[in-house]
Structure 1
C-alpha cells in the first residue's frame, strides 16, 4: 500500500517550534535587554497579543511584512509574533540606503512595514512618506502610529491558531545581484526548520545557555533565537557592540555563548582591557560571515581560550553548510585554522568544475549543495534561478578545495562579493552607482585586504576626459546613494582597466595587485 498524501511526511513549521519552547520552559528567563527581562510564558503572552493586533489590522498568513528593528526585547517579540502568524517577513538592513529599502518594499510587494522609529526616526519617516506600503506601524507611539506595543496590550493573550503550512515562505532575505539590484531569497519552513535542527545537533552548545547577541537580530543573531529557545536558554540583547561593553556584559551576566563576526573579535583582541578581564564564563564563541585571519585566530585561542566554532553558509543555504568544531581549532594542527570545517551531515556537498564534474580531493572547485537546507529560489528571478540551480545543484559561488579528511578550505569567490566587517557588499551595485556620476567612464569595485575589516571596499575608476573630481567627492557621492557599508574607503584613478578576451573588466588582474602577498583570495 502506498501513501500518496504528502501531509503524512510533511515537516513541522517555525510557529510550532516556538510553541513547543513556550510550553517546555514557561518559568525560565527567555530574553534580557538593558530595560527588561521576560520569562518564556511572558514572551508567549506578549507575542500572541502582538500577533492578534496584526490580525486586527488585516494581516493574514503569507502576507509580506518588512521589519526595521533594533536589538531589543520589543523588536524580538514583534519578530516572533510575525512568525507565529505565518507571515512572510523581510528584515531590512539598518545600514542600507533609503533607495535600497524602497526597492525591497516594491520588489516583494510588502503590505506592512513595522519599524523601531525611536532607533531609526529619519528612515521610518522617509519610508512612510514614500507611500509604498499600505500600513506603517511603529513600536512606540509616533507621529505615524499610535504604537504597536501599546495597542497590543488591549488584545487577548490567548494562543492564536497556527495555520502556517510547511511549504509556505517564512522569510525573504535580500542579497545583491549581478544586475546591481538585490534578489529576494525565498526560505520556506523546511529551510528554517532544517537549519534549526542542524544548529541543535552540531554546534558545541554549553549547558544552560546564556547567549549574548552582539550582531543585529535582523540578520545573523536572529538565527539563534529558536535553537536557544528549544534548549531553554536565555538570549541577552546588546544593541551596540564595543569591545569594552562586550567584556563588561559578559562578566556581569556570566555569558557562556555568543556569535561574533571576525572584526568584532579583532577589536576584542586589540583592547587593552582584555588582559585584565575575566572572560572564563565564555564556553562557546561562534564566528562566521567572513573568513578569519589564521594568525588572529591563533591569537584568539591563546588570549581567550579553546572556545571557538566556525560556521559557514549563505542566505541561499543559511548558516549550516559546514562547521569547524571547537576541537578542530587546534594549534597543533595549524592548517585547520584556514578551514571552514566539515560538511554538516544532511547536506550533500560537492566541489564541481565549470562542466559540473566533481574535482579530485585537493583541487579547487565551486562549493555546490543539495538538501533540505537549500532555498526555494529567488523571488521573480527565473533567469537567476536557472543559473544558481544549474545541474540541480545550488551553486554557492565560493571556490574551495577539500582535503582527504573532508575539511573544506575556501580560497576565492566565483562571485565578486566583498565581505567587509561581516557585511556583504556587492560590487555591481556600487559600480552601477558610480556609473551615474557624470565624471565616471568605467569602474571596478573590489575588496582589498584589511587587518580589521577583513576586506575594505575599494574602487578603481577611469574618468571621462576633461572632468577631474576628487576622491572625496566620489566617496561622498556613493555614501549619499548607497550608505556607509557600500561606500569605497579608497578610490584609485587609472587611465584604463584591464579587460579579458571577451571584453569584460578583468577583476582577477585588478585584485592580484592588492592580494599578491596573500596566500588566499579572501580575508
Structure 2
C-alpha cells in the first residue's frame, strides 16, 4: 500500500497544531508496562488507586499485593516468563493486582470474558495455550467443566470481596454465596484461593524480570461475534505508546485542581476499559470499578459516593442512564469529562447526556488491534458525530474498494499505522496478512472520511453496509435519525435480502411507551431521509441483543431477520 495521502496528512497536522496537540507522544517515558507500575507506586503511594464494592486499594497496597502475586507465580508454580495466564473476572480490585502481578513475573495476560460459554472458553484457552488461570468464584463452575480439556496447570480462585478487610470480606462473600446463591458449586482439584496465593508469595520478594520493549504483554481476543475469535498480540511497546498518546490528548481536557477520579462501568476484560486501568496509573488517578454496568442503581451509587471527574461509557449506557430517574437527580458539578467508545455515539444520546449532566461527550475510536485508541475528540474542541483527530504518532489513510487512496471528504476504508498497532494475530499469519501489510498499515474494516475541518467521521462498518438498488446505505445514519424520536429507546438497522432491490432495510426498535407503530417510524424517517433509506420493515422488540460491553449486535439481528 502507498504512503498516506499528503492532503489528509497535512490537514490533520494543521488541525492538531491549531488545537495545541503535539505531533509526537512521549512514548519513551516508560520502557514497559512494569515501569508504569513502578512509577505510580513510587509517586502516589498513599493515594487510592482502585476501588470496587465500597473498598479501595492505595497505590502502595497495589504494589505490595501485585508483588506478592508475582512472587507466587515465580516460586510456587511451574510457569516461566512468556507463559500465558488467563484472567476471568468482572470489575474488581483483584483484577489490577493479578494483572500487574502477572506482568511483573513476565507472563502474558489473556483477558477472558466471565460470561463466555464453555465452547468459547475452551477455544480461547487452547488457542492461547493458557497455562494458568485466575477465575472469579461466581463463574468458576462453567470454567471448571472445560479445564480437563485444556492445558491449564494452575488455577487461582477469588471471591468478590477477597481484598476487603474484615468483617466486610466475610459478610459480602457469605451473602453472595449462601444467601443470594450466586456461586454455583464447582470442583477444581488443586485450585488455590487468591488470599492463600498472596500469603505464600509474601514469604519471598518477587524477582524483577527484564522485559524487552517489544515483548508480548497480552493476547486480547477479538472477532468472536463474526467467526472464530483471534488473539491480537499486544506488546508492552504497543500499550505504553497508546497510554502516552492518550495522555497527550488529555492535556486538552480541563480537570480543574481536583484529583482524577474515573468511574468505569464497562468490563475491564474489554480493551476499552482495560486501557483506563493502565492510563489512570500514569496520572495517579483513582479508578472506581462498577462490576455490573446493567445495574444502573450501582452506577448511581458510585456517582454519588465518589463524585468522579471522568465517566467512561457508550451510547446504549448513556441512553439507559438518561432515562433513569435516580441518575437524573444526581449532582454532576464534579463531572468534567465523559468518554464514549465501543460503538457509534448518536446525536440524541450526546444531547440527552449533556442536557442532564452538563458535560459534553468526547467520542473516540479504537480497536482491539490498536491497543485500542486511534483517535478521539480533544477537550478543547468536541465535534459530535465525529471520532475526533488521530492521536499523536498515528497515520491514517482512506482507501476505496480498488485500494486507491482517497482525499478529504471521500468515504472509504480507514487504514491506520502507528506504534499502537498490534504485532499481528496469534498463530494466524494468514489472518494477519488480510489486515496488515509489510509497512505496518492496518485495515480497520470501517468506512470513514476525513472532513474538511480535519476531524474523522466513521460512516459505518463495511460489512454492515446495506445496498438498496445499487445505493449504499449506512445503518449509523438511519439509527442516528430515528434516535431523535422521543419514543425510541434503542434501534438498529440491517439489510434483508430482496429479489427486486438486492436488499431492503429492516429497522428493529425498542419503544419507550410500547405504543409506537411501524407507520409512525417510517413517517418519522421520511422527514429526514431520502426514500430509499426509509425502512420498509419495522420490528418491535423489548430489547436488542448486545455484547457484554453493550454494543448492539446487528449481525444477530440480521441473522434473525
- Superposition TM-score tier, normalisation by shorter sequence: 0.7 to 0.9
1:294 counterpart residue number: 347
Q: 1:211 aligns with which of 262, 275, 284?
A: 262
SS in structure 2 opposite 1:337? coil
Q: Judge which range, 409-418 or 34-43, deviates more.
A: 409-418
Q: 2:282 aligns with which of 213, 230, 241?
A: 230
Q: CA deviation at 1:278?
A: 1.1
> In structure 1, how many angstroms separate the alpha carbons of the residues matched to 2:29 and 2:54?
40
Provide structure 1 residue ranges, at least 5 long, that are not aligned to the other structure: 1-8, 330-335, 419-445, 461-496, 500-505
> In structure 2, how many angstroms separate the alpha carbons of the residues matched to 1:12 and 1:452?
46
> In structure 1, how many angstroms separate the alpha carbons of the residues matched to 2:46 and 2:33?
21
Q: CA deviation at 1:181?
A: 0.9
Q: Does 1:403 align with 2:403?
A: no
Q: CA deviation at 1:391?
A: 6.8
Q: What TM-score results when the alignment is normalised by the length of structure 2? A: 0.72
> In structure 2, how many angstroms separate the alpha carbons of the residues matched to 1:110 and 1:513?
42
Q: CA deviation at 1:328?
A: 3.2
Q: Does 1:73 align with 2:93?
A: yes
Alignment of 1:429-448 (within 5 A): none
> In structure 2, how many angstroms separate the alpha carbons of the residues matched to 1:87 and 1:176?
24
Q: 2:462 aligns with which of 408, 414, 427?
A: 414
CA shift in 2, pair 1:273/1:179, >3 Å: closer
Q: CA deviation at 1:314?
A: 0.3
1:154 counterpart residue number: 200
- Aligned-pair RMSD on alpha carbons? 3.1
Q: Does 1:369 align with 2:389?
A: no
User: Is residue 155–residue 192 contact of structure 2 (8 Å, CA) maintained in 1?
Assistant: no
Q: 1:170 aligns with which of 187, 193, 217?
A: 217
CA shift in 2, pair 1:372/1:343, >3 Å: same
Alignment of 1:270-285 (within 5 A): 270-285=323-338
Q: CA deviation at 1:178?
A: 9.5
CA shift in 2, pair 1:187/1:275, >3 Å: closer
Alignment of 1:460-479 (within 5 A): none
CA shift in 2, pair 1:291/1:24, >3 Å: same
CA shift in 2, pair 1:355/1:280, >3 Å: same
Give the aligned length: 437
CA shift in 2, pair 1:178/1:370, >3 Å: same
Q: Judge which range, 104-113 or 447-456, deviates more.
A: 447-456
Q: 2:238 aligns with which of 181, 191, 195?
A: 191
CA shift in 2, pair 1:355/1:384, >3 Å: same
Q: Does 1:337 align with 2:357?
A: no
Q: Does 1:33 align with 2:52?
A: yes
CA shift in 2, pair 1:180/1:367, >3 Å: same
CA shift in 2, pair 1:326/1:300, >3 Å: farther
SS in structure 1 opposite 2:371? strand
User: Is residue 248–residue 392 contact of structure 2 (8 Å, CA) maintained in 1?
Assistant: no
Provide structure 2 residue ranges, at least 5 long, that are not aligned to the other structure: 1-27, 163-185, 467-474, 509-521, 536-550, 553-561
> In structure 2, how many angstroms separate the alpha carbons of the residues matched to 1:151 and 1:230?
28
2:311 counterpart residue number: 258
Q: 1:130 aligns with which of 149, 155, 165?
A: 149
User: Is residue 263–residue 454 contact of structure 1 (8 Å, CA) maintained in 2?
Assistant: no
1:95 counterpart residue number: 115
